[in-house]
Amino acid sequence: MQEDTGPGGGFARLEDHGVKLGRIREDISVRMPTGPETVALELPPGTSVIDLAGTTCDTDGSAVEVMLAVIAGDMATFSCDFAIPD
């Protein structure tokens, strides 16, 4: 509930309490905004939004954090970097 959770952020605080983080899943989709979203995000007409849903799980597979965000589509860049398996 604090703006600044300290060094390492929220994940470090979970680990401080014995939570062993195992994986993060992010689902990204693009859609047109609702009326209230258009106003709140001050979107120009025709601008899409991106829904970003992130779930962080511990090593047992239990969700320990869920994050939902709506991002103006003209203000986002996503990059992915994956190793190519042998």
Amino acid at 41: L
CA distance 74 to 35: 17
CA distance 78 to 58: 24
pTM: 0.76
pLDDT at 85 over 80: no
- pLDDT, residue 54, reads 93
CA distance 9 to 2: 10
The count of other CB atoms within 10 Å of the CB of residue 49 is 23
DSSP for 46-74, please give it.
Answer: T--EEEEEEEEEETTS-EEEEEEEEEEGG
Q: Two tokens at 17?
A: 């309490």
Span 6-48, pLDDT tens digits: 887 888 888 899 999 999 999 999 999 999 999 999 999 999 9
